[in-house]
Amino acid sequence: EAQVTQNPRYLITVTGKKLTVTCSQNMNHEYMSWYRQDPGLGLRQIYYSMNVEVTDKGDVPEGYKVSRKEKRNFPLILESPSPNQTSLYFCASGWPQHFGDGTRLSIL
Amino acid sequence: KNEVEQSPQNLTAQEGEFITINCSYSVGISALHWLQQHPGGGIVSLFMLSSGKKKHGRLIATINIQEKHSSLHITASHPRDSAVYICAPRMHLAGGGADGLTFGKGTHLIIQP
């Protein structure tokens, strides 16, 4: 089954504790992207990748890192999470975009 | 930056009614998504279109690139159509540069039985 898999689905953590949200797709898509969704602000792009080893900033990249060492994986890294990064995060791949189920992140 | 305006923000209708959601954007785009998000939070891409019209079941999407406008129509609406519908134009600069979706704030649709 074609899918985008994110893990974890839910996470509560504390300020400053590094975390990684994984994203994997099995559709051989070159393009992958991360978005965050916040009440009143809607969805916004964090980072995207056109292909392996090619990544670029979206609209709200501050406080995040990404890597694309293999085509199928595109992890989102929060090296020093802060409460303003509490949000619902979506990974997506391909065109049209296939979305993962989302990761609800709470940073205390 | 691409400004995306959706209307209406909220819409409550009776089962069977014809529904129209509108989207306008400010800059040239390569394509436009219509997305559906149910209360559980998952997002599904309904359409990606770059010209004309697409139809899938009771859903129809149209786009006018010159007027920078797109519409999503639902015929014979049903309570299971209740969801948030999001317009998302794709910015894609030829020769490289930014590539990604910008998003409208969404239309909250409720279909009452």
Closest B-chain CA to A96 = B48
Provide the pLDDT for residue B93. Answer: 57
Please give the average per-residue pLDDT across A6-22, as a whole number: 96
pLDDT over threshold 70, residue A55 = yes
Q: Which of A33, A42, A88 sits opposite B100 (nearest CB)?
A: A33
Question: pLDDT digit string (tens) for B70-96?
Answer: 999 999 999 999 999 999 998 765 555
pLDDT of residue B2: 67
Pick B41's closest partner by Cβ from A31, A97, A102. Answer: A102
Query: Running DSSP on this structure, what letter comes out for residue A81?
Result: -
Q: Is A11 in contact with A81 (CB distance < 8 Å)?
A: no
The DSSP code for A73 is B
| Mean pLDDT of the A41-49 span | 94
B43: nearest CB among A59, A95, A99: A99
Q: Identify the pLDDT of residue A1.
A: 87
Whether the predicted pLDDT of B3 surpasses 90: no
Q: Is the peptide bond before B8 cis (omega within 30 degrees of 0)?
A: yes
Distance from CA of A80 to the nearest CA of B (A): 26
Are A48 and B104 within 8 A, CB to CB? no
Q: How far apart are CA A18 and CA A32, in angstroms?
A: 22
Contact indicator for B82, B111 with CB cutoff of 8 Å: yes
Residue type, A10: Y
The pLDDT score that the predictor gives to residue B91 is 78
**What is the per-residue pLDDT across B4-32, written as a single tens digit (0 to 9) for each?**
999 999 999 999 999 999 999 988 788 99
